[in-house]
């Protein structure tokens, strides 16, 4: 009877889980009626996409897609992702299109359909502002050079690295690449010209030492053979914006007048360098909002993790070998897979394999819950098994049913043993939410990345985030310590 109830409970949990995921799948009628398209982008790629001081997404790409949407009569939902994550989200079907300074290449055409080109770019080399030794490609011999994954700069650097004898260090966003050069880890970087030139005018600490190379074109991308109506509307809207002069206004707003788009001097759209205190003050609303999301995702994830821990923890102390095996597999599986890989698998791989879309927040909660649930399972198993077996045997010899003995005698003692481990897991899960920024979840760490992409002040931003994490975790730990003492006295 006990086995049957446990199996029934497990099946109920699985049904709930798949119902929850299935609720994220839009119906056919909803898809047909949908006038809002989800567009993936990389909001750390100024001046094409970044977050302004008000927390709004701006840039050439953002303004362009919004203007085209208005011209063609549809709406867009911008999803902030890194370039890699945006491309993977498009492949998995979690976004309808990508606009992220994406170069049109023959290799990418095998997987995606591109719009008409909307910007002509080209790679260029930059070094630290105080570096007077690197002046040409020949000076790179035997050195390390930084590039951002997926950019034209990375492609160009790859094509000449053997000729000039340098090695590459690859990064996921432009600000990390710039920090690498400023810190001296790499002597130079290759970046798309408008991005590097704009960053220099924002005070990113680099300088340009070579001429711009001939480059390719940026395009809006959709999955091959899919969303052709959206692609057609983009092309028609782009043509209308160019004929009306609105396209030139958008570009000039960030790159200045004249031939900036073709490699001229970039002089518009800059902002004066803020002091660290001003930066923290103006960014604090975004940081506080990010911290609120961090706490929210932590609480929700721990709630589901505790349910999973109770179910599989009970299985691991069961007398039934099958149930113990199920519990062991669950723990080994989700404790053995790195959380980063689990997040990618849940958000990118599963939707692509089964043909449905998933919200970022749902993927983050599922990944965090499964990861934390495996550890909570072991906490519960360890707590129960730490109680002397003689107490259960004595209770059973007196005729007390197993479940009653577990509930009235074993668990109250085990909880006192578990509390410190639960507190530790709470802190770990709160910090683990930062890993979810790689799939575009907006929490505290992602909020900081967006500010860094605009200001290039890595030290101030990450110091502020570290202090905020420390304060919140310290407060939560003190509260949990008081709770632990009360439970121990009880």
Hey, what domains does the chain have and what are their CATH numbers? Answer: 35-120+218-262 (3.40.190.10), 123-215 (3.40.190.10), 276-489 (1.10.3720.10)
User: For residue 213, how many other CB atoms are within 10 A of its CB?
Assistant: 18
Give DSSP secondary structure letters for 173-216: SHHHHHHHHHHTSSSEEEEEHHHHHHHHHTT-SEEE-SPPPP--
Intra-chain end-to-end CA distance of the chain, in Å? 33
Instruction: Look at residues 463, 448, 460, 457 and name the one whose alpha carbon lies nearest to residue 204.
Output: 457
Instruction: Look up residue 207 and give its two tokens.
Output: 């300088």
Instruction: Look up residue 239 and give its two tokens.
Output: 């043509």
Q: Output phi, psi for 134, to 5 deg.
A: -100, 110
* H helix or E strand, kind and range, residue 322: helix 321-336
Cα–Cα distances (Å) from 107 to 103, 114, 120, in that order, read 11, 12, 18
> Residue 146's beta-bridge partner residues?
169, 189
What tens-digit pLDDT sequence spans the chain (490 residues)? Answer: 444 454 445 445 544 554 454 444 444 344 444 488 999 998 778 889 888 877 788 999 999 999 999 999 999 999 888 788 888 889 988 899 999 988 888 889 999 999 999 998 889 999 999 999 999 999 999 999 999 887 888 889 999 999 999 999 998 888 889 889 998 999 999 998 888 888 888 788 899 998 888 878 899 999 999 999 999 999 999 999 999 999 999 998 888 754 444 444 554 444 556 788 888 888 888 899 999 999 999 999 999 999 999 899 888 888 888 988 999 999 999 999 999 999 999 998 888 888 888 888 999 999 999 999 999 999 988 888 877 777 777 777 777 787 777 777 777 777 777 877 888 888 899 999 999 988 888 888 888 888 887 777 888 999 999 999 999 999 888 887 787 777 666 5
């Amino acid at each position: 009877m006990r086995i049957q109830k446990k199996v029934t409970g497990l099946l109920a949990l699985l049904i709930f889980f798949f119902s929850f995921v299935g609720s994220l799948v839009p119906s056919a009628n909803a898809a047909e009626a949908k006038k809002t398209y989800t567009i993936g982008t990389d909001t750390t790629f100024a001046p094409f996409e970044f977050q302004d001081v008000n927390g709004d997404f701006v840039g050439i790409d953002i303004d362009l897609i919004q203007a085209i949407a208005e011209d063609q009569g549809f709406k867009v939902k911008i999803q902030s992702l890194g370039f890699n994550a945006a491309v993977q989200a498009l492949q998995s079907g979690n976004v309808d299109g990508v606009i992220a300074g994406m170069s049109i290449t023959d290799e990418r055409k095998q997987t995606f359909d591109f719009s008409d080109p909307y910007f002509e770019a080209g790679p260029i080399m930059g070094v630290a502002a105080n570096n007077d030794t690197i002046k040409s490609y020949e000076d790179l011999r035997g050195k390390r050079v930084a590039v951002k994954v997926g950019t034209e700069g990375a492609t160009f650097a790859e094509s000449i690295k053997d000729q000039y004898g340098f090695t590459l260090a690859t990064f996921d966003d432009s600000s990390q690449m710039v920090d690498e050069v400023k810190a001296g880890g790499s002597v130079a970087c290759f970046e798309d010209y408008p991005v590097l030139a704009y960053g220099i005018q924002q005070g990113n600490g680099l300088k340009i030492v070579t001429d711009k190379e001939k480059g390719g074109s940026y395009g809006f991308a959709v999955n091959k053979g899919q969303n052709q109506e959206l692609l057609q509307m983009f092309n028609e809207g782009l043509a209308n914006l160019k004929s009306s002069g609105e396209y030139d206004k958008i570009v000039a707003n960030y790159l200045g007048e004249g031939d900036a788009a073709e490699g001229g001097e970039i002089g518009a759209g800059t902002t004066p360098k803020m002091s660290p205190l001003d930066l923290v003050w103006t960014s604090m609303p975004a940081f506080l909002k990010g911290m609120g999301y961090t706490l929210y995702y932590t609480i929700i994830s721990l709630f589901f993790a505790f349910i999973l821990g109770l179910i599989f923890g009970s299985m691991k102390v069961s007398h039934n070998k099958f149930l113990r095996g199920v519990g062991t597999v669950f723990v080994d599986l989700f404790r053995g897979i790195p959380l980063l890989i689990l997040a990618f698998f849940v958000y990118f791989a599963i939707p692509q394999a089964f043909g449905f879309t998933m919200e970022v927040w749902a993927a983050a909660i599922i990944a965090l819950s499964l990861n934390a649930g495996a550890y909570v399972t072991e906490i519960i198993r360890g707590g129960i098994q730490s109680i002397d077996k003689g107490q259960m045997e004595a209770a059973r010899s007196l005729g007390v049913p197993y479940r009653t003995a577990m509930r009235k005698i074993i668990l109250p003692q085990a909880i006192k043993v578990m509390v410190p481990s639960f507190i530790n897991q709470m802190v770990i899960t709160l910090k683990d939410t930062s890993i979810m920024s790689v799939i575009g979840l907006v929490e505290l760490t992602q909020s900081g990345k967006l500010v860094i992409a605009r200001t290039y002040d890595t030290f101030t931003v990450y110091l502020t985030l570290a202090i905020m994490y420390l304060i919140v975790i310290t407060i939560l730990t003190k509260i949990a310590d008081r709770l632990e003492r009360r439970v121990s006295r009880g």
